Amino acid sequence: MHAFGISPTSLDLVFADPQIAISDQGKRDKSLLIMENPQRKCYMNLERDWFKTQLLAPERLQRLQDSYTIFLKDCLSWENLSQTYIVPSQAGTGCKTISLKLFARHTVSYCGTSTFFGNKLLQVDPGFLRNYQEFEEGSWKIFYRLPMFLARSSHAAKARAIAGLERYLSLPAQERSELSWLFQTMNAELHHLSVPPRDVAGIVMIIIWA
């Protein structure tokens, strides 16, 4: 979490007892950390339970699979092949040569992102996939804590992607209605904990990377 720039204050909040961390009564009345957490688990421990609810519950998982299939079919249609992975080839042959590495990376990141966030994220930040893929390419540099001057492009791409997520997650809920239950819950509960928007986006970015 330090590698994604999460502040020490936010780290304290996500590992704190929510009964102590959330003092505002209006937030307490809405928060799953208060209302559905008899064991008083901290946010990070309860987040694991939400993953199980999203990814193991048959109905929610089926909705994700159905959505992913739609985006995958769209990605694989001939007319929608992206210039990001098409390799220049001889004109007039009726063929398209693609980079398998770039094709796989684009397809997985596009379909996964669109499944969990809907189309709105890429409308808010059209460069999100490009920034995310650039970060991912060199993400090992960040986790091995290379000095900034040896990982400038990775850190810059990560910062741009997180900024795009922050803009998206700051939209009114009705404008991001396609956001999956898991990320809706994470976003709401982190705000109940008074985690600032940039750190919320950073925590979401960790999950996207994972």
Contact present, 19 and 40 (Cβ < 8 Å): yes
Q: Which residues contact 157 (CB under 8 A, 6 or more apart)?
A: 131, 132, 134, 135, 138
Domains in the chain: ranges and CATH: 25-209 (1.10.630.10)
**Measured distance CA(28)–CA(84) in Å, rounded:** 46
Quote the pLDDT of residue 190: 97
State percent of the chain over pLDDT 90.
70
User: How far, in Å, CA of 69 to CA of 111, rounded?
Assistant: 8
Instruction: State pLDDT tens for residues 107-152.
Output: 999 999 999 999 999 999 999 999 999 999 999 998 888 888 999 9
Looking at residue 18, its pLDDT comes to: 96
Mean pLDDT score of the chain: 92
pLDDT at position 56 is 87
User: In this structure, are residues 4 and 158 in contact, taking their beta carbons and an 8 Å threshold?
Assistant: yes
More confident residue, 83 or 191: 191
Cα 146 from Cα 124, distance rounded (Å): 31
Check pLDDT > 90 for residue 84.
no
Element of type H or E holding 79: none
pLDDT digits (tens, 9 = 90+) for 39-82: 999 999 999 999 888 888 888 889 999 999 999 999 888 888 88
If you ran DSSP here, which 8-state letter would residue 159 be given?
H
Residue 91 has pLDDT above 70, yes or no: no
DSSP category for residue 142: H
The structure tokens listed for 21 are 């961390």
Which two structure tokens, joined as six digits, stand for 154?
Answer: 């990775």
**Cβ density class 34-53: b for 16+ within 10 Å, e for less:** beebeeeebbeebbeebeee
Mean pLDDT of the 169-182 span: 92
* Residues facing residue 98 across a β-bridge: 86
The DSSP call for residue 155 is H
Type of residue found at 98: I
Is pLDDT of 92 > 80? no
What is the structure's pLDDT at 143?
83
pLDDT of residue 115: 94
